[in-house]
């Protein structure tokens, strides 16, 4: 359920504010802006990073902390509660470890084309849903790092000029593609990462 203030801005509900480092934040738009600033700083940190293995749990958590740690207390720590998306919390560490091992093997043994490896990595990471929030944004960036570090491949055009956080045809195609992949059909996600999954604008 969404709360609205008299000016029509979407207010955050109390659940959504748990761990928020700023107590003056009331609306979704204010939060989006704070997160956006944090993510921009996180991406700057990433650009300065030289070397290091990006396929390990420590890096995955540090990345989340760099992207969201100025806004949320729990950034970089695993989810403790069940959500409607994601595996049960106590399996997060083990399943993430397995994904990172698999992703390493996919690259080492050229099991998939780079884009398919990136898409599968992203899908499983967001399906595990390691963190309380920010999983979509984190897992898109993590997949781009995997592509760069292990395949020397350019990043995926996730948004393709639109905002994947907002409501639009590209986001609809993205969510539908993730759901198809949940059911074992990776075709829509492969089309999506190739740039022609749904609304290409």
What distance in Å separates the CA atoms of residue 178 and residue 196, rounded to the nearest whole number?
15
Binding Mg ion by CB under 5 A: which of 64, 133, 160, 174? 133
Residue 178 binding target from ligand ADP, Mg ion, none, CB below 5 to 8 Å by type: ligand ADP
* Closest separation in Å from C-beta 106 to Mg ion: 27
* Closest separation in Å from C-beta 106 to ligand ADP: 20
Q: Which is nearer to ligand ADP, 117 or 177 (CB)?
A: 177
Asked if 29 is part of the footprint of ligand ADP (rule: CB under 6 A), the reply reads no
The stretch near ligand ADP (CB under 6 A) out of 19-27, 52-60, 96-104, 134-142 is: 134-142
Asked if 38 is part of the footprint of ligand ADP (rule: CB under 6 A), the reply reads no
Asked if 43 is part of the footprint of ligand ADP (rule: CB under 6 A), the reply reads no
DSSP characters for the chain? --EE-TT-PEEPPGGGGTTBS-TT--BHHHHHHHHHHHHHHHHHHHHH--S--SSSHHHHHHHHHHHHTTTBTTTTS---S--SSS--GGGHHHHHHHHHHHHHHHHHTT-S-HHHHHHHHHHHHHHH--SSS-HHHHHHHHHHHHHHHHH--PPP-SSTTS-TTSSSHHHHHHHHHHHHHHTT--HHHHHHHTT-SS---
What distance in Å separates the CA atoms of residue 172 and residue 176, rounded to the nearest whole number?
6
Asked if 62 is part of the footprint of Mg ion (rule: CB under 5 A), the reply reads no
Asked if 130 is part of the footprint of ligand ADP (rule: CB under 6 A), the reply reads no
Closest residue to ligand ADP, based on beta-carbon distance: 136
Residue 157 binding target from ligand ADP, Mg ion, none, CB below 5 to 8 Å by type: none
Binders of ligand ADP in range 66-105 (CB under 6 A): 85
Give the footprint of Mg ion on this chain (CB under 5 A): 133
Give the footprint of ligand ADP on this chain (CB under 6 A): 85, 126, 133-137, 175, 178
């Amino acid at each position: 359920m969404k709360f609205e203030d008299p000016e029509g801005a979407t207010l955050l509900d109390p659940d959504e504010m748990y761990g928020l480092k700023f107590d003056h934040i009331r609306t979704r738009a204010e939060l989006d802006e704070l997160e956006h600033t944090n993510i921009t700083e996180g991406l700057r940190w990433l650009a300065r990073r030289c070397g290091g293995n990006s396929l390990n749990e420590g890096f995955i958590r540090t990345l989340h902390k760099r992207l969201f740690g100025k806004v949320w207390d729990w950034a970089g720590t695993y989810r403790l509660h069940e959500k409607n998306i994601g595996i049960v919390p106590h399996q997060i560490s083990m399943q993430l470890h397995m994904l990172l091992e698999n992703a390493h093997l996919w690259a080492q043994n050229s099991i998939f084309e780079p884009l398919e490896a990136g898409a599968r990595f992203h899908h499983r990471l967001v399906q595990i849903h390691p963190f309380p929030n920010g999983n979509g944004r984190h897992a898109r960036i993590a997949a781009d790092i995997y592509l760069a570090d292990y395949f020397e491949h350019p990043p995926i055009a996730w948004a393709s000029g639109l905002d994947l956080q907002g409501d639009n045809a590209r986001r609809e195609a993205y969510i539908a593609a993730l759901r198809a992949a949940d059911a074992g059909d990776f075709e829509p996600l492969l089309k999506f990462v190739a740039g022609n999954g749904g609304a290409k604008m």
